[in-house]
Structure 1
Amino acid sequence: MFIEPIVKGGRQGWIEVICGSMFSGKTEELIRRLKRAKIANLRVEIFKPAVDTRYDDQQIVSHDEKAIPSTPIDNSQTILLLTSEVDVVGIDEAQFFDDQLPDVCDRLAAQGIRVIVAGLDMDFRGKPFGQIPNLLAKADYITKLHAICMKCGNIASFSYRKHAHEGQFLLGEKDIYEPRCRKCFYDPD
């Protein structure tokens, strides 16, 4: 679907995607960029999926406990209702949002808004996760972050699930997941 750009005061919007495995610093990088936007006196609105209550019900919190206030929402269309007077929109854990998220981000960027999205690019099986692949295709800027493999110390791009739970969605931390390199992910023994 083509979205006609609506230029606000000469500003051009764009989409930035921060992706990678668990424990790679995606949320920390999102928070860093959003705090810099606030320092620049830009109007910032931040969203997270309401289902993600791991560290806090309201705030986005990184694994190293950096935090920033956010609005938990149940669906991506809500973002359009809450961003009429903003310069920057931040979205964390994008893999948990519905299939409308890429179009919502497109619409925001067409309105001159900088959109920064963070999320897992692959699930625990090593398969593309949620709407991240579609967001990567629409992104103007992509940052892929890596963790450190917990088995061998090489760079890690995969999120290895240590428990035998088959569902794609299983919220967890270091007790359930660990970062792995390609070799250690596919050869876990």
Structure 2
Amino acid sequence: MFIEPNLTGERRGWIEVICGSMFSGKTEELIRRLKRAKIANLKVEIYKPAVDVRYDETQVVSHDANSIQSTPIDNSQTILLMAQDVDVVGIDEAQFFDAEIMHVCEMLALRGTRVIVAGLDMDYLGRPFGQMPNLLAIADYITKLHAICMKCGNIANVSFRKVENEGQVLLGEKETYEPRCRKCFHEMSPSKG
């Protein structure tokens, strides 16, 4: 990714969104970018929804067990209060945040903060998930990652739910979800008829 040099000395912020299905490496990529920012001696803060306690209550943890310390929060507005004088803000599982997350990211970027957001772009029905469409619309940079379809081995872009539960939010791992390509998702999904 090319970032234009800022010759005025004024700090400029932007929004990066990392999206894709489950098991595509979104959190892994978020952690990688945040650790690189720390190596560059930038002040970094990481936030995740308090509801996400799958691996750890306070750390952002990838499926490959890489982790980085974070602050769990219930309301996206809290990020604005906590992220004063921060160079880089990381936000994981953005699809679980409230409707204000888009405005929070915009305000941070206007303050001169680099904002890196990761989240599922589609839910288990293959529909846009939470606030991710809004974040994608305002992003300066977008990285769409893909998993491998567990049925045919092609590129997967949808998180297929393997258990019966009609709620949009159901936290789970490999026992609950598997990545599928568009074709396998539509052929085998009970919700698609």
TM-score range, shorter chain: over 0.9
| Counterpart position of 2:124 | 124
Cα distance in 2 between the residues matched to 1:78 and 1:103 = 12
| Counterpart position of 1:6 | none
Is residue 72 of structure 2 the alignment partner of residue 72 of structure 1?
A: yes
What is the root-mean-square deviation in Å for CA atoms of aligned residues? Answer: 1.1
Query: Could you tell me how far 1:85 is from its partner in structure 2?
Result: 1.5
Map 1:79-90 to 2 at 5 A: 79-90=79-90
Counterpart secondary structure, 1:80: helix
Where structure 2 has 5 or more consecutive residues not aligned to the other structure, the ranges are 1-8
Where structure 1 has 5 or more consecutive residues not aligned to the other structure, the ranges are 1-8
| Counterpart position of 1:12 | 12
TM-score normalized with structure 2 length = 0.93
Amino acid paired to 1:45: E
Query: Could you tell me how far 1:62 is from its partner in structure 2?
Result: 0.1
Is residue 163 of structure 2 the alignment partner of residue 163 of structure 1?
A: yes
| Counterpart position of 2:173 | 173
Amino acid paired to 2:180: R
Counterpart secondary structure, 2:108: helix
Query: Could you tell me how far 1:188 is from its partner in structure 2?
Result: 1.1
Counterpart secondary structure, 2:135: helix
Cα distance in 2 between the residues matched to 1:162 and 1:28 = 23
Query: Could you tell me how far 1:31 is from its partner in structure 2?
Result: 0.0
Map 1:135-150 to 2 at 5 A: 135-150=135-150
Superposed structure 1 runs of 4+ greater than 2 Å apart: none
Cα distance in 1 between the residues matched to 2:85 and 2:103 = 19
| Counterpart position of 1:134 | 134
| Counterpart position of 1:34 | 34
Cα distance in 1 between the residues matched to 2:64 and 2:184 = 24
Counterpart secondary structure, 1:108: helix
Cα distance in 2 between the residues matched to 1:14 and 1:85 = 15
Counterpart secondary structure, 1:134: helix
Query: Could you tell me how far 1:164 is from its partner in structure 2?
Result: 1.1
| Counterpart position of 2:4 | none
